[in-house]
Amino acid sequence: MWQDTKHGLFKQYVFDNFDETRGFINECLKIAEKYNFYFRVEIEYKVVQIWMTNNGKIDNSLLTKNIVEELDSISNTSLSNENNNNLINPNSKIDFKVKYLKLYADGGSRGNPGPSSSGFVIFDEEDNIIEQKGVYLGVTTNNQAEYTALKLGLESCLRLGAINIDVYMDSLLVINQMKGIFKIRNKDLWPIHDNIKKIVSKFKKVKFQHIPREMNKLADAEVNKALDNELSNS
């Protein structure tokens, strides 16, 4: 049931799985575009909370009534299908926020410097994989590949609308430099470190944690997959 709050009409929807959640959000996008209307959405895995506002202002008009009726209607349909697996449009008027994500990042160079790639895996708070990716970088160093993995992973978390991030890497150098414990003596790492700091500032909180290599196998696998694919085709 919709509730009249000081922040606008509010309702919480609970779905059976993340695919249904994603499907519902995609349908919300269509409604927002259809009515050229702003409403705030927060998502936490299977729970979606919506506040009805119009450009940040509380709105209880007939237009709002039509929109909430459509939202209730689509929430009762089957939303877990392959047609709902498209990426959410980052330019949407919906304020899409994932409260918490876990990022595992890794980088590797065969030669140091040599052929290099970066990989990352993003999990939600239920340890479901949200995104995983490996990117071939060309010839660079191991530390540059590690930093690039962190940058690419954080950028993906930002696109997903995350608020709080826990970062896990087996590179003690990168983790301690991001924490400010180690100084950055290699001038080649200054630009990407500064770039990452700017990305970090866009989140509410980012926590950096060092982990043993054996706990970072999925991200490492993305690194080696990207390297193997590139080198086998060259």
Query: Is the confidence at residue 209, as pLDDT, over 60?
Result: yes
* CA–CA gap between residue 136 and residue 115 (Å, rounded): 8
- Residue ranges in 36-171 assigned as alpha helix (H): 62-75, 142-159
Q: Are 50 and 25 in contact (CB under 8 A)?
A: no
Q: Identify the domain containing residue 115 by its residue range.
A: 98-232
The DSSP code sequence of 135-146 is EEEEEE-HHHHH
Buried b (16+ CB within 10 A) or exposed e, 44-58: bbbebebbbbbeeee
Instruction: For residues 58 and 126, state if they share a domain.
Output: no
Instruction: For residues 143 and 87, state if they share a domain.
Output: no
Q: Give the three-state DSSP class for 71.
A: helix
Residue 182 pLDDT grade (very low, low, confident, very high; cuts 50, 70, 90): very high
Instruction: For residues 140 and 206, state if they share a domain.
Output: yes
| Tens of pLDDT, residues 72-130 | 888 877 555 444 444 444 444 445 556 789 999 999 999 999 999 999 999 988 788 88
Is 0.75 surpassed by the pTM of this model? no
CATH number of residue 48's parent domain: 3.30.1360.20
* CA–CA gap between residue 51 and residue 95 (Å, rounded): 10
Query: Is the confidence at residue 69, as pLDDT, over 60?
Result: yes
pLDDT of residue 97: 56
Per-residue CA distances from 74 to 18, 39, 46, 89 (Å): 16, 16, 15, 19
Instruction: For residues 87 and 7, state if they share a domain.
Output: yes
Q: Which of 39-48, 171-180, 187-196 has the lowest mean pLDDT?
A: 39-48
